[in-house]
């Protein structure tokens, strides 16, 4: 037996998993690494033919169904109760957390978290050909259809992506319910362009916000099919866009028709950054919202909502994704500011660039080291949680309400308003670091 074969349990040893209560119809086609102890795979879970499981962090909970319609590979991944992995074909999961009752079709996920399903109005979590990359966080009942790609993407409960979509570097609030007409939706064929012609990724977009969005009582957002979304975008609740349009900038509630580019050609030097202050402003807004979400996970989901070790683990995993997104945005801002520094050296004596732009860039560069240091970690912006909110959560739990989305929606108006004010204060404190420094005379 070679070393590679020896790293997996043999058929006789796999029978001990069966004795433990794991359903394995074909022992000869399933491989489980020796680092995966039998107690990590719960009784009542099913491992179909051509399943391969590795990683000491791997856990599979009761009722999970792995490799239903094709080979499935799990590497250091956590699968919740009654989750289905591979309902449509092959699946590979690496360093991924899949919450209870999730239904994954066919595709690949790595360094991502899906919190699971609470309803079956939408009978899938991901469709065929999904690609869920680092920093993706799908909250309760968030879903994507066929051939979707996300990275550094946060989808609130019920947010739904159609087919043939690339939606990276985005936070999307989810609406008010899982039924059609109430959940936020991104139409098929839509792309969020998150990499500029100049090579920077200070392009993250906000569709809705955290301080209101987490309470699941705001108007949904609807992004039409075949949209070209040019980040950074900031869209308010109730924003809708027509199909087949080009969208950028700030969007307000109502139907937005987008705009087209004029014909022709202009001289363009990708080393020169114009409008840098506006771009940094929008990215600080994203950092502010992620900070509020960080504290929502830490102080509400983990500290009060979580009722079991499994639920706590899920929320801690979600918190890790939020912080990953925060650090990614800060890292991209650092890269952007390095490019602005280079840009400023090119335009400092230029007659083609307005004096206002030159002055703004100079001032921004002078302020940035202080701002960057102050925004280093979201944990630094902690504020006391209002007891009105936490007491309201405890009251509902004492009445037997456990499902996260129902618990949040059933909060009293007093509890919601206190929570919104708390989260808004956190995001404003982040924003004020930036705004106060920018306003200073140098």
What DSSP assignment string belongs to 277-313? HHHHHHHHHHHHHHHHHHHHIIIIIIIII--SHHHHH
| Phi, psi angle pair for 365, to nearest 5° | -65, -35
Please state at what angle helix 355-374 crosses helix 309-347, rounded to 10 degrees. Answer: 150
For residue 297, what pLDDT is reported? 98
pTM of the model: 0.96
From the first residue on, what is the mean pLDDT of each consecutive set of 10 residues in the chain (442 residues)?
72 93 96 96 98 98 98 98 98 98 98 96 95 98 98 98 98 96 97 91 97 98 97 98 96 93 83 91 98 98 96 98 98 96 87 88 96 97 97 92 92 97 98 94 60
Taking the alpha carbons of 370, 372, 373, 377 in that order, is the dihedral positive or negative?
Answer: positive
CA distance 101 to 104: 10
For residue 154, what pLDDT is reported? 98
DSSP-based three-state secondary structure for 193: strand
For residue 1, what pLDDT is reported? 44
Residue with the two structure tokens 């002078």: 366
For residue 198, what pLDDT is reported? 86
Question: In 106-141, which positions are buried (b, 16+ CB within 10 angstroms) versus exposed (e)?
Answer: bbbbbbbbbbbbbbeebebbbbbbbbbbbbbbbbbb
CA angle 6, 42, 48 (to 5 degrees): 65
CA distance 430 to 287: 8
Taking the alpha carbons of 288, 289, 294, 296 in that order, is the dihedral positive or negative?
Answer: positive
CA angle 268, 274, 277 (to 5 degrees): 165
CA distance 415 to 306: 18
Query: What separation, in Å, do the N-terminal and C-terminal C-alpha atoms of the chain show?
Result: 72
CA distance 73 to 32: 10
339: CB partners within 8 A, 6+ apart: 198, 199, 200, 271, 273
363: CB partners within 8 A, 6+ apart: 438, 442
Question: In 387-421, which positions are buried (b, 16+ CB within 10 angstroms) versus exposed (e)?
Answer: ebbbebbeebeeeeeeebbebbbebeeebbebbbe
Angular region, 302: left φ>0, alpha ψ -120 to 50, beta rest = alpha
């Amino acid at each position: 037996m070679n070393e590679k074969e020896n790293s997996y349990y043999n058929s006789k040893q796999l029978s001990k998993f069966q004795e433990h209560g794991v359903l394995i119809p074909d022992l000869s086609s399933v491989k489980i690494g020796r680092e995966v102890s039998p107690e990590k795979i719960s009784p009542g879970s099913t491992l179909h033919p051509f399943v391969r499981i590795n990683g000491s962090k791997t856990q599979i909970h009761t009722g999970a169904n792995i490799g239903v319609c094709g080979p499935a590979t799990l590497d250091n991944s956590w699968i919740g109760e009654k989750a289905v992995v591979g309902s449509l074909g092959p699946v590979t999961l690496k360093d991924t957390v899949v919450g209870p009752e999730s239904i994954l079709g066919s595709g690949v996920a790595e360094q991502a978290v899906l919190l699971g399903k609470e309803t079956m109005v939408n009978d899938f979590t991901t469709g065929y050909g999904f690609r869920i990359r680092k920093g993706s966080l799908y909250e309760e009942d968030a879903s994507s259809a066929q051939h979707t790609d996300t990275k550094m993407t946060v989808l609130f409960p019920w947010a739904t992506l159609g087919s043939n979509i690339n939606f990276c570097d985005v936070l999307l609030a989810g609406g008010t319910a899982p039924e059609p007409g109430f959940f936020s939706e991104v139409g098929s064929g839509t792309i969020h362009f998150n990499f500029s012609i100049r090579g920077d990724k200070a392009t993250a977009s906000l569709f809705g916000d955290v301080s209101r969005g987490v309470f699941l009582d705001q108007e949904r957002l609807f992004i039409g099919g075949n949209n070209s979304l040019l980040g950074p975008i900031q869209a308010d609740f109730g924003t809708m866009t027509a199909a087949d349009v080009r969208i950028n900038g700030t969007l307000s509630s109502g139907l937005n028709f987008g705009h087209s580019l004029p014909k022709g050609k202009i001289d363009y030097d990708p080393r020169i950054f114009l409008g840098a202050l506006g771009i940094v402003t929008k990215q600080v807004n994203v950092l502010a919202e992620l900070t509020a979400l960080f504290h929502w996970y830490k102080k509400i989901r983990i500290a009060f909502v979580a009722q079991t070790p499994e639920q706590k683990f899920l929320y801690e995993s979600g918190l890790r994704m939020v912080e990953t997104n925060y650090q990614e945005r800060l890292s991209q801002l650092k890269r952007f500011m390095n490019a602005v520094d280079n840009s400023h050296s090119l335009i400092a004596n230029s007659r083609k660039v307005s004096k206002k732009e030159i002055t703004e860039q100079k001032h921004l560069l002078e302020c940035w080291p202080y701002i960057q240091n102050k925004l280093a970690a979201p944990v630094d912006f902690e504020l006391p949680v209002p007891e009105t909110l936490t007491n309201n959560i405890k009251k509902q739990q004492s009445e037997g309400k456990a499902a996260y989305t129902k618990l949040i929606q059933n909060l009293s108006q007093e509890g919601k308003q206190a929570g919104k004010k708390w989260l808004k204060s956190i995001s404003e404190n982040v924003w004020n670091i930036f705004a106060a420094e920018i306003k200073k005379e140098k």
